[in-house]
Amino acid sequence: MTATQSTGWIGVSAPRREDALLIRGRGRFIADVSPAGALHLAVLRSPFAHARINGVDTSAAESLPGVHGVITADDLEGIGAFPTVWRLPGQKECHTPALAPGKARYVGEPVAAVIADSRYIAEDALDLIEVDYEVLDHVVDVEAALAEDAPVINEHMGDNVIIEYTFPGINALGVAGDLDGAFAEADEVITGRFRIGRYSGVPLETRGLVADWDDLRQTLTLHSESQVAHLLRTELAAALGIPETSIRILTPNIGGAFGNKWDRYPEDILVSLASMRLGRPVKWIEDRRESLQATVHGRQQLQEWQLAVRSDGALLGLKGRVLSDQGAHLHSVGIGPAWVTGAAAVNQYKIANYHCDVLGVATNKTPNSTFRGFGGPEAMFGIERMVDKAARKLGIDPAEIRRMNMIGADEFPYFSPGGAVYDSGNYPTALAKALEAVEYDRLREEQAALREQGVRRGIGIGSYIHVSGFGPSAILGMLDYYTGGYEGSTVKIDPHGRATLYTGMIPMGQGTETTLAQVAADHLEIDIANVRVVWGDTDQTPYTGFGSAGSRSNVAAVAVIKAIEEIKAKAVRIGAGLLEADPEDVAYGDGRISVKGAEEMRSLTLAEVAQQAYWGHKIPEGDQPGLEATYVYDPANFTTAYGTHVAVVDVDVQTGKIDWVKYVVVDDAGTIINPLLVEGQIHGALAQGLGGAILEEFVYDEETGQLLSSSLMDYLLPSFTDLPDFEIHHLETPSPHTEGGFKGMGEAGCFPAGAVVANAVTDALSDLGIEVDETPVTPARLWGLINAAGG
Amino acid sequence: MKPAVFSYSAPESIEEALGLLAEHGSEAKVLAGGQSLVPLLNFRLARPAHIVDINGIGELSYISSNGSLRLGALTRLTAVEESGDVSSGHPIITRAVSHIGHRAIRNRGTIGGSLAHNDPAAETPALLLALDSEVTARSAGGERTLSAQELVGDRFFETSLGDDELLTEIRIPALAASSGWGFQELSRRHGDFALAGVAAVVTMDGGAISSAALGAFGGAYAARLPEAEAALVGAEAGEAAFAAAGERAAAEFPTTSDVHGSEEYRRHLIGVLTGRALAEATSNTGGENG
Amino acid sequence: MAETITVVLDVNGVGKEISVEPRKTLADAIREDLGLTGTHLGCEHGVCGACTVLMDGEMVRSCLLFAVQGAGAEITTIEGIGDGGELHPMQRAFSEYHGLQCGFCTPGMILAGIDVLRRNPDPGPQEIREEMGGNICRCTGYQKIVESVQAAAAEMSKEGVSA
Ligand SMILES: Cc1cc2nc3c(=O)[nH]c(=O)nc-3n(C[C@H](O)[C@H](O)[C@H](O)COP(=O)(O)OP(=O)(O)OC[C@H]3O[C@@H](n4cnc5c(N)ncnc54)[C@H](O)[C@@H]3O)c2cc1C
Ligand code: FES
Ligand code: FES
């Protein structure tokens, strides 16, 4: 790359502008935000899974020197709670309160908050609060929660069923399948019952907040790591009962979010309220134990599927029931992830006949909400395990059964019976490429030879789709999702011809600042050094109701392109006047405004035009002075990223331990802005997918309702030696649904990982007849299966 | 996750430390490397009123060897791991210590702290049991010698040390020339506490095993496996003997369960790892300490 | 007010006297009393390595030490590596090879990477993975960190720099 460059910024691995501070330890994370005079808040959390709170005595805590105040549920008169933004028809309301009102429903639920001079003293004060708990029967298993005599967690609901939602198998064209016919025609009906483990994003940086209420100005400045600061502002204003115009949210560097920081949380209210009541800045940094107990969990589902297949391998029909273990309350997105599971479960296959019931079930556990993948990995687990089971039953190679049922490259747009429209792709090619990369045929031979020597090698395949780029907003409305799917971008050209771009996106490690600068530089045809990106200040950036998710920069990128198109058109109009040419004859190119055919002679730089635009001396009729534009882009439709993964593992049957041999990814995320960063995103998402496949799990004790995984000694994050080297290959099919052809790319890596591992391990143990239907596949769990099979 | 209030002293000699322990009694905790104690303090699972930080006591940190090995209690795990004196005479210790946590943990963690903490999933107590080690414990009132078994045997996260006692030295006898060793553990991740593990020392007489010592960890407490050991004496080294020993080991192992594995699974693992440790031990007898 | 103790902490070559409660961790003192916020806290129980600092040249967890224990030691944090304004080759390599995403683990990772090379200037990928296994990254999946450390090793041997 040359020192200055005006074109070709899309598709290059531009160095990240985020890095300069971070590698020096000069990033500014939430814990590094320390306004003078800040007080520290700590939260008292329920030690019980289910307990009535008959009284809270805070007197000893309040009289401890250094304590400035204690907040209990009684102090929340007039203060609201955050709503669930996804409110499906029939969904019973049980959203998360700011402080447990009269009853705690999970271990870790906030009961009171203390504000003190330091975190040390605040924790001393927590020890002094006496809560009169009356312990109630609890339920932590989703099936037990459905039992007739199960303790009812939210009394007003009558039982623990939050919602029962049906996917009737009508595709986006309104065409209904014939499920009964499919099952009647089937030669075999394959059944599967899958337990997908509870785990989550567990960002290395926990959550945190710094609230600073200015009593004279009546304004609240909130430093927050929310991935969707504007929506937080809107909902916080409503909860606190103050005008939204009084709230400014500033976003520091974020130490990982992975969806978990998309949600609104009780602490957002508590910390803000504490600052308002005390008139001092108040800081809260979640500690790791709190984080494991009280930052949302994800994934956990119990799925039951039936797949109708013909003996030639054709997949005729799929029906299923998904029990989503929601935890005690609905959090910001309700049962959204489980809804996505139902919508995506037919995956890449032409399964025309489909039916799925999705049940959201309350349990005495931490709320299950937003986590990278958002229901997609769960869907992929189900279908990819089912397809493997079918292959085994029918004696067809698992690669072949996939290939023969895949939607063809010429069948797009494809209207799936899950209700989604798939935009584009070449599924069989991705599969073929993955098989070629692992040398599939050779691997199978090698596997047989190794088996003779007592080495159990397994090969697992998993194909996936990732429906992303949620929009248009009208569709979200039809789905009862109460926020928009658009992204806005403001681009301002200064009088020196440099660009400042304002985005509602929030960089959380994906390099958004760099990729958006690349898009702007590419389309303005100027050097990237001349583009500045402003983010993380609700006073400056365009409203977004969707905010940053792993797969949103594609939508934001289009907003940037569209705003730049307007700027270029205006520059051409102004430039034409200055060049005394007809605007029709003037074009924008290479960062200049020139008369077509006379680029050498009659041409102005962007700076020259911008200067004129701000002088305002010669503005064409109908235009205003200045050179800036805002574009709010509402996607025309969803985009579907897709691909195939193949894992090769060795299994030690004596211990249940899995060793990696190889992991290959073939991925199509449409047009790629920055290949190095895309690779990084795939690696990271894959690491989280594999973490949940083999290590990570929130384990609850059935007897006590306690969360047993409440330290990082027990909740195991993958480290260096737990993951394989990844081999990544790309296809690039530009999406026809978005300008620029971008598809979401930040999450896809985690989609098939669980299924791929389960398929590989099942394959390694095929002679024992073991089916790996539960994640994570821990050594203990796997040995249990092996032992039961007499292996 | 901030510790509760405590008062603090940093003695510079053993005598001074013993005086402080005598003064504060059960209110005091010794702070060595802090790699187990400080997490407990941060979680407020331990709340001593007083901390006696022994890191300034230079005389507690040494490695000396004349066949048998003497380790000062405050010797850092990294120092043990990197010591030529240790690896030449007792390579099993070098290997076992390398399994403890990670480099940064071992840079602070001490051999005495690891033993005194007596985590049943830790390597050190079972290792020192298998090596027939003994320790010196001192208090203001005097000094006593305990076998590793007397110190940690049958105990879970505690030892037979009194509140006023300081562990000062660990002594490990020389290994016989005809002995071999094996060390096998399975953990969820590299550097984690073990799901289960076995340290084995065997002495050979030709192709037959003349004595065997097995220390197992990952159960309810660190334990020797006497039934398995007895079964090995006189047996011909080989698959059959190892399998028989493994079976007994599994049966006598004081198993336990937690989030990472059931009682049954751990019991089974001890059987498997006993076999593997014995195979390793009998293949490296006579100084081939791989 | 609980008892406080006065200590001099020598961090990155600068000595500063602070007065702290004995229970204050070294990590908190570095961050709050010295204002060096590059040392991060990810777990406060020794598992993640985000709080890694060098103490007398050895890598340690600053969340498992008390500030009062830092007296007399030479402590180096992320802010103290590199050569007067110049980046350390490890820092450059992390940026060039995309060894960081959110950057929260990065200060600890860079120090751990330097520590690995101090002991072996030319480690293979597997050795890097084993030696750095005590540091957790939630974003990268590690492969690019391994590549960064290898690249730094190559760069340092070319420049004749030792870690
Ligand atoms: C992430 C992580 C991973 C780990 N992994 C492992 C592992 O795989 N295997 C393993 O075995 N350990 C592991 N540990 C624990 C580590 O090995 C500890 O260092 C060790 O267990 C305790 O040694 P210490 O010197 O740090 O003791 P401290 O933490 O200082 O003390 C531990 C206990 O021993 C007492 N004590 C210490 N020294 C003496 C003495 N001389 N006399 C009397 N009492 C004393 C203390 O009062 C305290 O009760 C891990 C720790 C962490 C943080
Ligand atoms: S914060 Fe110290 S190791 Fe995690
Ligand atoms: S870069 Fe985010 S934790 Fe490592």
Q: Which domains does chain B have, with CATH numbers?
A: 7-53 (3.30.43.10), 58-172 (3.30.465.10), 179-283 (3.30.390.50)
* Chains in contact with A via at least 3 Cβ–Cβ pairs below 8 Å: B, C
Selected residue of B257, B265, B273 to mutate for chain A interface (largest A Cβ count, 10 A)? B265
Answer yes or no: do A780 and B190 touch at CB < 8 A.
Answer: no
Q: How far does B112 lie from chain C, in Å, by closest CA?
A: 17
Copy the structure tokens of residue B96. 């076992």
Calpha distance B269→B242 (Å, rounded) = 14
Do C153 and C97 share a structural domain? Answer: yes
Residues 6 or more apart from C154 whose CB is under 8 A from it?
none
Per DSSP, helices labelled H in B109-256 are 111-117, 123-130, 148-152, 226-232, 239-252
pLDDT of residue A551: 63
* Ligand 1 pocket member B118 (CB < 6 A): no
Answer yes or no: do B188 and A695 touch at CB < 8 A.
Answer: yes
DSSP E strands in A257-352: the ranges are 282-285, 301-309, 315-327
pTM flag (> 0.95): yes
* Ligand 2 pocket member C134 (CB < 6 A): no
* Ligand 2 pocket member C51 (CB < 6 A): yes
Q: Is residue C163 part of a domain?
A: no
The pairing of strands C74-76 and B50-53 is unpaired
pLDDT of residue B288: 42
Contact A386, A307 (CB under 8 A): yes
Answer yes or no: do C133 and A23 touch at CB < 8 A.
Answer: no
Of C80, C98, C117, the residue that ends a domain is: C80
Residue in C with minimal Cα distance to B100:
C134
* Ligand 1 pocket member B105 (CB < 6 A): yes
Calpha distance B133→A367 (Å, rounded) = 51
Contact A102, A13 (CB under 8 A): no
pLDDT of residue A5: 73
Measured CA distances, A720 to B184, B191, C35 (Å):
21, 11, 31
Distance from Cα C99 to the centre of ligand 3, integer Å = 9
Distance from Cα B154 to the centre of ligand 3, integer Å = 42
* Side chain identity, residue A12: V
At A317 the three-state DSSP class reads strand
Copy the structure tokens of residue A768. 């024992």
C28-63: per-residue pLDDT in tens? 999 999 999 999 999 999 999 999 999 999 999 999
Q: Give 10-residue mean pLDDT values along chain A (791 residues).
A: 68 94 97 97 98 98 98 96 93 91 96 98 98 98 97 96 96 90 98 98 98 97 96 97 98 96 97 98 98 98 98 98 98 96 97 98 98 96 98 98 97 94 93 98 97 97 88 86 92 98 93 95 96 97 82 84 97 97 96 94 96 97 96 87 96 97 92 92 96 98 97 98 95 78 76 97 96 98 96 74
Domain count, chain C: 2
Of C46, C80, C114, the residue that ends a domain is: C80
Q: How far does B104 lie from chain A, in Å, by closest CA?
A: 15
A293 interfaces chain B, CB cutoff of 8 Å: no
* Ligand 2 pocket member C74 (CB < 6 A): no
Calpha distance A309→A390 (Å, rounded) = 7
Chain C residues lying within 8 Å of B38, measured CB to CB: 25, 46, 63-66
Ligand found nearest the CA of C95: 3
* Ligand 1 pocket member B167 (CB < 6 A): yes
Calpha distance A682→A667 (Å, rounded) = 9
Mean pLDDT calculated for residue range C125-134: 97
Return the CA Rg of chain C.
16
Q: Is residue C44 part of a domain?
A: yes
pLDDT of residue B290: 37
Do C122 and C71 share a structural domain? Answer: no
For the CA of B31, the nearest atom of ligand 1 = 30
First vs last Cα of chain A: how many Å apart? 58
At A594 the three-state DSSP class reads strand
Pocket test for ligand 1, best of B100, B155, B163 (most atoms within 8 A of CB): B100
* Side chain identity, residue A72: T
* Ligand 1 pocket member C133 (CB < 6 A): no
Of C60, C80, C100, the residue that ends a domain is: C80
Q: Is residue C95 part of a domain?
A: yes
Contact A254, A507 (CB under 8 A): yes
Selected residue of A30, A720, A723 to mutate for chain C interface (largest C Cβ count, 10 A)? A720
C-alpha angle A689-A403-A774 in degrees, rounded to nearest 5: 35
- ipTM score of complex: 0.97
Distance from Cα C34 to the centre of ligand 3, integer Å = 24
Calpha distance A322→A163 (Å, rounded) = 12
Answer yes or no: do C87 and A23 touch at CB < 8 A.
Answer: yes
CATH of the domain at C66: 3.10.20.30
DSSP string, A99-116: S--SEE-STT-EEEEEEE
Do C93 and C55 share a structural domain? Answer: no
Ligand 1, atom 20, residue with closest C-alpha:
B114
Chain C residues lying within 8 Å of B2, measured CB to CB: 23, 25, 28, 44
**B82-115 per-residue burial string, b: 16 or more CB within 10 A, e: under 16:** bbeebbebbbbbbbbbbbbbbbbbbbbbbbbbbb
Copy the structure tokens of residue A320. 């299923």
Answer yes or no: do B2 and A123 touch at CB < 8 A.
Answer: yes
Calpha distance C32→B105 (Å, rounded) = 24
Angle between helices C89-96 and C106-119 (to 10 degrees): 120
C157 interfaces chain B, CB cutoff of 8 Å: no
For the CA of C102, the nearest atom of ligand 3 = 2
CB-closest option in C23, C45, C59 to B6: C23
With the CA atoms of B203, B204, B210 and B211 taken in that order, what torsion angle do they form, in degrees rounded to the nearest 10?
Answer: 20
Interface of A with B in 709-748 (CB under 8 A): 709, 711, 713-714, 716, 718-722
CA nearest A52: which of A187, A155, A188? A155
CA nearest B237: which of B200, B197, B199? B200
List the strands of the sheet with A657-668, edge to edge: A456-468, A639-652, A657-668, A727-731
Calpha distance A371→A488 (Å, rounded) = 24
With the CA atoms of A431, A435, A436 and A441 taken in that order, what torsion angle do they form, in degrees rounded to the nearest 10?
Answer: -140
Do C97 and C65 share a structural domain? Answer: no
Interface of A with C in 270-309 (CB under 8 A): 287-288
Answer yes or no: do C60 and B10 touch at CB < 8 A.
Answer: no
Residues 6 or more apart from A216 whose CB is under 8 A from it?
none
Structural domains in chain A, sorted by start: 19-27+486-633 (3.30.365.10), 33-136+203-257+261-294 (3.90.1170.50), 301-471+636-788 (3.30.365.10)
Do C118 and C68 share a structural domain? Answer: no
CB-hemisphere CA count at 13 Å for A170?
5
Calpha distance B197→B249 (Å, rounded) = 11
3-state secondary structure A720-732: HHHCCCCEEEEEC
DSSP E strands in A19-86: the ranges are 39-45, 51-57, 67-72
pLDDT of residue C11: 98
Ligand found nearest the CA of C48: 2
* Ligand 2 pocket member C108 (CB < 6 A): no
Ligand found nearest the CA of C105: 3
CATH of the domain at C143: 1.10.150.120
Do C113 and C76 share a structural domain? Answer: no
Do C62 and C97 share a structural domain? Answer: no
Q: Is residue C136 part of a domain?
A: yes
With the CA atoms of A416, A419, A423 and A427 taken in that order, what torsion angle do they form, in degrees rounded to the nearest 10?
Answer: -40
- DSSP summary character for residue C32: I
Calpha distance B76→A201 (Å, rounded) = 35
Interface of A with C in 50-89 (CB under 8 A): 65
pLDDT of residue B287: 45
Q: Which residue range(s) make up the domain with C115?
A: 89-158
Calpha distance A352→A346 (Å, rounded) = 9
Q: Give 10-residue mean pLDDT values along chain B (290 residues).
A: 98 98 96 98 98 98 96 98 97 98 98 98 98 98 97 93 97 94 97 96 94 97 98 96 98 96 97 98 67
Ramachandran angles phi, psi of C93, nearest 5°: -65, -40
How many CB atoms within 10 Å of residue A478?
A: 9
DSSP E strands in A653-766: the ranges are 657-668, 727-731
Calpha distance A137→A152 (Å, rounded) = 9
Query: Count of H helices and E strands in chain C?
Result: 5, 5
Do C74 and C9 share a structural domain? Answer: yes
Distance from Cα A42 to the centre of ligand 2, integer Å = 20
pLDDT of residue A552: 73
CA nearest A335: which of A86, A531, A17? A86
Calpha distance A465→A384 (Å, rounded) = 11
Do C129 and C75 share a structural domain? Answer: no
Do C133 and C94 share a structural domain? Answer: yes
Residues 6 or more apart from A563 whose CB is under 8 A from it?
A489, A490, A491, A501, A629, A630, A631
C62 interfaces chain B, CB cutoff of 8 Å: no
Do C95 and C73 share a structural domain? Answer: no
Contact A506, A660 (CB under 8 A): no
What is the torsional sign of CA A499, A505, A509, A515? negative
Calpha distance A430→A461 (Å, rounded) = 12
Element (H, E) at B9: strand B7-9
CA nearest A459: which of A277, A648, A695, A304? A648
Calpha distance B232→B239 (Å, rounded) = 12
Per DSSP, helices labelled H in chain B are 14-24, 37-42, 77-82, 84-89, 91-98, 103-108, 111-117, 123-130, 148-152, 226-232, 239-252, 263-283
Do C98 and C76 share a structural domain? Answer: no
Residue in A with minimal Cα distance to C82:
A24
Angle between helices B123-130 and B91-98 (to 10 degrees): 170
Q: Is residue C126 part of a domain?
A: yes
